[in-house]
Amino acid sequence: MPCSQNVAFEGIAPSDAEFAHPPGLSIIRMLTTGLRNAGWSVSDFENWRDCGWSLECNRQEATLLVALAQTEGQKWMLQISPLRVPGPLGRLFGGKRSAAPRDVFELARAVHALLAHETTFSQMRWRWDGYPDEARSTLEPAEPESQTSS
């Protein structure tokens, strides 16, 4: 079962006046506003492992995590995944993912629309559960039904 949607893209992210490090907060602020306008409940941003930024997004019963980091220069990687994915022991005791693949896809579509609307971002490549290189990626988020577990 697919778990995360990953997108690699290029673009300029202006430096944030409040927090200059890590880079990318201007992208997260843009996504926060856009996702809220699209009907998602979005948390305040968090510093993610001191190398990027993250947000929790909720809609209906689903809780997802969006994490963004700069990979090099003006290249970025963003991942959308369930906030909680129990391991084997957690599943044994009834633990469930906090979001289904369909929820991940719906949030990925909303993020894609926001990134595509910004003229400063280009070269978007999407992939389920792996790095979206040129050989194994799509130009837009793919439906979860078209993916197999990796």
pLDDT, residue 119, reads 92
- Range 142-149 average pLDDT: 73
Q: What is the DSSP string of 100-148?
A: -HHHHHHHHHHHHHHHHHSTTEEEEEEEESS---STT-BSSPPPGGG--
Q: How confident is the model at residue 26 (pLDDT cuts 50, 70, 90)?
A: very high
Percentage of the chain exceeding pLDDT 70: 97
Q: What are the extents of the domains in the chain?
A: 5-146
Residue 149 has pLDDT above 60, yes or no: no
Q: Which CATH number fits domain 5-146: 3.90.650.10, 3.30.310.80, 3.40.1800.10, 3.30.420.40?
A: 3.30.310.80
DSSP bridge partners of 133: none
